[in-house]
Amino acid sequence: MKSTNLLEIVRNQSISIENSNFLPERDNIPVHSFRGLILIKDPQKELNRLGVSPKLIGYWDLLTAIELVLKNKSALTAMIKEIYIPTAAKRCVEWDCPEASIRKAIRLIWQRGNRDLLERIMNHSLPEPPPAGEFLGAFAFYLEDASEESN
């Protein structure tokens, strides 16, 4: 199985739909079109805007988890098997390590980060930090939403 990173996914998603049949494993990448182009926001930039520092391991675990969700939205229905275990395998740790670091990063966004952007991504006000699965799903949708400009 060929391993792809998030940058390759972003590059692949900026190729026109007419050329999409030339890409290997293209069926696994979500497609949202806007005038014939596939657009996606930069996940690293958006995590920085939310207030997550690349100094946190949760930042990198979030990027890996987002990569997995962008490839396969149904991964959100089996978080441990489809997201936490593959993320942990990249770091050679147990699955609960990325689970905890992702929850911590989300909690830090909610406590000290850009709460307005977080609530815009989640599409409602938040009395408490969102669960990891809900955040990952909403963040993936936000990245793919070509109609909203990044501020």
Q: What is the pLDDT of residue 20?
A: 42
Q: What is the pLDDT of residue 29?
A: 41
**21 contact partners, CB below 8 Å, separation of at least 6:** none
Q: What is the pLDDT of residue 17?
A: 42
pLDDT at residue 133 above 50? yes
**pLDDT-derived band of residue 42, with 50, 70 and 90 as boundaries?**
confident
- Per-residue pLDDT, averaged over 89-107, amounts to 95
pLDDT at residue 24 above 50? no
What is the spatial distance between Cα 130 and Cα 127, in angstroms, rounded to a whole number? 9
- Per-residue pLDDT, averaged over 61-88, amounts to 94
pLDDT at residue 136 above 60? yes
pLDDT at residue 53 above 70? yes
Q: What is the pLDDT of residue 4?
A: 59
Closest CA to 95 of 78, 110, 71, 108: 78
CB half-sphere exposure, 54, CA atoms < 13 A: 5
What is the spatial distance between Cα 52 and Cα 36, in angstroms, rounded to a whole number? 33
Of 98 and 126, which is predicted with more confidence?
Answer: 98
Of 28 and 8, which is predicted with more confidence?
Answer: 8
Phi, psi (deg, nearest 5) at residue 82: -95, -20
What is the spatial distance between Cα 108 and Cα 6, in angstroms, rounded to a whole number? 23
pLDDT at residue 8 above 90? no
